[in-house]
A and B are shown apart, each in its own frame.
Chain A
Amino acid sequence: MEHPKDRGGLTRRQLLRGAAGSALGLSAAGFLAGCENTTEPIGASAGGPVGPASRLVVAKPVGPGGLPLPRPDDAVTWAITADNRPIPEGRPTERGPLRVYNYADYVDPVTVKKFQKEFGATVQIATYNSADEAIAKLAAGAVAFDVIIGLSGANIVNLIAQKLLQPLNHAYLPNLAKNVWPQLADPFYDRGSRYTVPYVVWMDGIGWRNDKVKEDIASMDVPWDIFWHSQAYRGKVGVLDDKRDALSMPIQREAMRTGARPDLNTEDQALIARAGSELSQLNGICNVKVTITDYQTLPEGKTVLHHAWSGDLLSGAFYYMPKGVKPDVLSFWGPVSNGVVQNDFFCIGRAAKSPVLAHRFLNFLLDEGNAYANMVNFVGYTPPQNAIDAELLIKRGLIPKTLTSAVVRPDQFAANQELLQLSVAGERHWDDAWSKFKAG
């Protein structure tokens, strides 16, 4: 969910491992009589007070097992339980192998090699394709992973509810306080960074080819409007193939017009449905594409205007420019506030066999130099490091000025919103609106 590496659609970089889920089979007529008739999830319970008092408040959505769903204005501190304590200080570092669980192509192999050399340990990386898959396999417990990379605040409740993580000992992680943006060194979804430390950040915005799109998108009153005025670019316009990101876009647009603060984690069915039908207007306006290959199609000019993750424009500029095309044809705009920002994190598996080495690995990648190398040599997404900003990347000639906004700033990160886990009922509203939109 909501992760750029959750390449739900098909990309060329990770060459299509899965084939069709073509169906065959039996029909199931006959026995429906006497069956239950519900779509209410098992174990669902409303949050807040019970009995007559419950009528006095609007029920808050709750997560699995009745756990709270973290929100920026409702931060959560996850308890450290007696049966699951952090490792003590001053332990010797294990020799590994360090078992890392990550998206494919989501950590720089050269940086990993440097770590292996420095600590005389081997690193084994196993990959997953989606957060769902990762959590299911972690819960099955077949492999005891030491470090898990790429999950996010949207998954934390699941991870905690299923007791999949071990708490961190910050004595091994001096780089966290030293280098990382203060707000992400103590995030709302995990107050005190008890179980997680941040990896990279990105935001939702508009990526376009400034040599093909005439409008000055960044200076429009409501830049999102460009999608509803994109008749001229028919067939070359895309929105992100992700229900939460894409449906959030019309919600932001509406809020930007009225000056209101939108709730991008809303569970209001009517609001979500309206966002879906507004998105559907794009079918007629520009025959909109629904993809997550913008990091490739924008540089190649196969699309000229795309709802985009900021990191995709950076990756595009770093690695995907065709011969003879300069990266300064790429532009990015992202909202200063009330838009979508996301970050993902590192965490340590509860059953880690090399917990000290795992802490060392986290601290190693929180080091300024290593985080920088990992980003510019391979990953493309920006780490929330105090020392890494757009100015630095422009000065070093890595990105053109037109992509200044694609490097998320800490103040921007604070003023935007993360897409977070919803209740099952809320999630279904988003799924339904998305399915309607995707049906054309």
Chain B
Amino acid sequence: MGSRWTWRLLALPGVAWLAIFFLVSFYAVLSVAFGNQDTLSQPVPFWNPLDWNVGYVLEVLRNFWHGGQYLTVSLRTLEFVAIAMGLSLLIGYPVAYFAARHSGRWKGLVLLLLVVPFWINYLMRMLAWINLLSPDGWGTRVLHGLGIERLFLALGLLSARGGWLDGQSSTVIIAFVYGYIPFLILPLFVALDRIDQRQIEAARDLGASSFSAFRRVTLPLSVPGILAGCVLVALPMFGDYYTPDLVSASTKTNLIGNQIDQFTRQGSEKVTGAVLTMLLAAVLLLLMFYYLRTTRRAGETAET
């Protein structure tokens, strides 16, 4: 009996943390979104749900419905995140696969190299890219030398030679991939590393080719890792505003995060900012539910 209470007590700090920094603060966002503002343009939160004012929420929803700017940036955000997530997976999966299954005694070193980017602040890494990608920067020269610049120009993904920082969508997406890919590789590595070697051997013994063993054993067993990695990169990308600001600053690459930033930090429309924050959170919550359901199902099938 005593030990049961000890365990419950141990959960207390975590619960308190969530309650204070998540539930209460999110309720504050709701109260602002369903509140009003005063004549100083300062938000007046309505704490009691019975008093809630839906004027600002309706206005934003109406904007979406009529294809206004919020819809434009939301669709663009979805597009950028989807492409960046796909690219991250395409690049990250082979890396994680190699690290988990083929790096042998170098596994520790490879894992270390994967974690190293975490040691440097995200923004510092982005700022470094600004110098690398400037017209006479080293990054630009390398991309030119490798023919990647020509490829991008041919595909219409770059508007001019050396113009990586001229407000290109492709630069923002590449920056996303570069910035967030470690978050995808690590859970994938863990998932792949945990796969029982004997299951793959069994597949091979039963006549599966190495590709078919990968497709029918390794890949399905790594799905939880893929999903966890995708969630981990997608969530911060959805709220990101500083990456497009730093590497592009063009209005054509502004995302929903930039709109929220504009309303809350720069503008006087904090209520609208709160409404957008709330709607974004609602969409992300739906994605989270999907993720949780899929992983639970994957867990169930693994058990049967």
Q: Are B249 and A291 in contact (CB under 8 A)?
A: yes
Q: Which residue of A lies closest to B23 (CB)?
A: A26
Q: Among the listed B37, B127, B266, which residue makes an inter-chain contact with A41, where contact means beta carbons less than 8 Å apart?
A: B37
Q: Are A235 and B166 in contact (CB under 8 A)?
A: yes
Q: Are B268 and A427 in contact (CB under 8 A)?
A: yes
Q: Among the listed A18, A20, A25, A302, which residue makes an inter-chain contact with B281, where contact means beta carbons less than 8 Å apart?
A: A25
**Contacting residues, chain A, for B241 (C-beta < 8 A):** 20
**Contacting residues, chain B, for A37 (C-beta < 8 A):** 53-55, 58
Q: Are A10 and B245 in contact (CB under 8 A)?
A: yes
- Shortest distance between the CB of B70 and any CB in chain A (Å): 8
B147 CB within 8 Å of chain A? no
Q: Are B249 and A289 in contact (CB under 8 A)?
A: yes
- Shortest distance between the CB of A153 and any CB in chain B (Å): 16
CA distance A234 to B57 in the complex (A): 37
Interface residues of chain B: helix, strand, loop or mixed (majority): helix
B73 CB within 8 Å of chain A? yes
Q: Are A24 and B252 in contact (CB under 8 A)?
A: no
Q: Are A434 and B285 in contact (CB under 8 A)?
A: no
A290 CB within 8 Å of chain B? yes
A-facing residues in B204-252 (Cβ within 8 Å):
235-236, 238-242, 245-246, 248-252
Q: Are B251 and A290 in contact (CB under 8 A)?
A: yes
B59 CB within 8 Å of chain A? yes
Q: Are A21 and B37 in contact (CB under 8 A)?
A: no
CA distance A24 to B34 in the complex (A): 17
Q: Among the listed A23, A36, A132, which residue makes an inter-chain contact with B284, where contact means beta carbons less than 8 Å apart?
A: A23
Q: Among the listed B38, B235, B252, B254, which residue makes an inter-chain contact with A42, where contact means beta carbons less than 8 Å apart?
A: B38
Q: Are B242 and A289 in contact (CB under 8 A)?
A: no
Q: Are A238 and B249 in contact (CB under 8 A)?
A: yes
Q: Are B166 and A287 in contact (CB under 8 A)?
A: yes
The total number of A-B Cβ pairs within 8 Å is 217
B98 CB within 8 Å of chain A? no
Q: Which residue of B lies closest to A158 (CB)?
A: B40
A39 CB within 8 Å of chain B? yes
B-facing residues in A1-33 (Cβ within 8 Å):
1, 6, 8-10, 12, 15-16, 18-28, 31-32
Q: Are A27 and B285 in contact (CB under 8 A)?
A: yes
Q: Are A32 and B236 in contact (CB under 8 A)?
A: no
**Contacting residues, chain B, for A302 (C-beta < 8 A):** 134-135, 165
Q: Are B69 and A435 in contact (CB under 8 A)?
A: yes
Q: Are A32 and B249 CB-contacts (below 8 A) given A25-B285, A41-B39, A435-B259? A: no
Q: Are B251 and A288 in contact (CB under 8 A)?
A: yes
B-facing residues in A140-166 (Cβ within 8 Å):
158, 161-162
Q: Are B281 and A42 in contact (CB under 8 A)?
A: no
Q: Are A439 and B280 in contact (CB under 8 A)?
A: no
Q: Are B263 and A431 in contact (CB under 8 A)?
A: yes
B261 CB within 8 Å of chain A? yes
**Contacting residues, chain A, for B281 (C-beta < 8 A):** 23-27
What string of 1s and 0s marks CB contacts (under 8 Å) between B101-135 and chain A? 00000000000000000000001000100000011
CA distance A20 to B235 in the complex (A): 11
On chain B, the number of residues with a Cβ less than 8 Å from chain A's Cβ atoms is: 80
Q: Are A12 and B39 CB-contacts (below 8 A) given A21-B261, A130-B265, A238-B249? A: no
A96 CB within 8 Å of chain B? no
- Shortest distance between the CB of A201 and any CB in chain B (Å): 23
A350 CB within 8 Å of chain B? no
**Contacting residues, chain A, for B92 (C-beta < 8 A):** none
B193 CB within 8 Å of chain A? no
B72 CB within 8 Å of chain A? yes
A283 CB within 8 Å of chain B? yes
Q: Are A32 and B54 CB-contacts (below 8 A) given A287-B167, A435-B259, A436-B68? A: yes
Q: Are A26 and B59 in contact (CB under 8 A)?
A: no
A38 CB within 8 Å of chain B? yes
**Contacting residues, chain B, for A290 (C-beta < 8 A):** 249-251
A49 CB within 8 Å of chain B? no
- For the complex of A and B, list the 9 residue pairs with the smallest distance between their C-beta atoms, beginning with the closest: A235-B166, A22-B239, A439-B69, A8-B266, A25-B281, A440-B251, A27-B282, A289-B249, A36-B53
Residues of B within 8 A of A (CB): 22-23, 26-27, 29-30, 33-34, 36-42, 44, 49-59, 68-70, 72-73, 76, 123, 127, 134-135, 159-160, 163, 165-167, 235-236, 238-242, 245-246, 248-254, 257-269, 272, 277-278, 280-282, 284-285
A-B contact pairs, 20 of them (CB 8 A): A12-B127, A15-B123, A24-B285, A25-B282, A28-B34, A31-B49, A32-B52, A32-B54, A36-B51, A37-B55, A39-B55, A41-B38, A235-B166, A283-B251, A289-B250, A290-B249, A424-B268, A428-B269, A439-B72, A440-B253
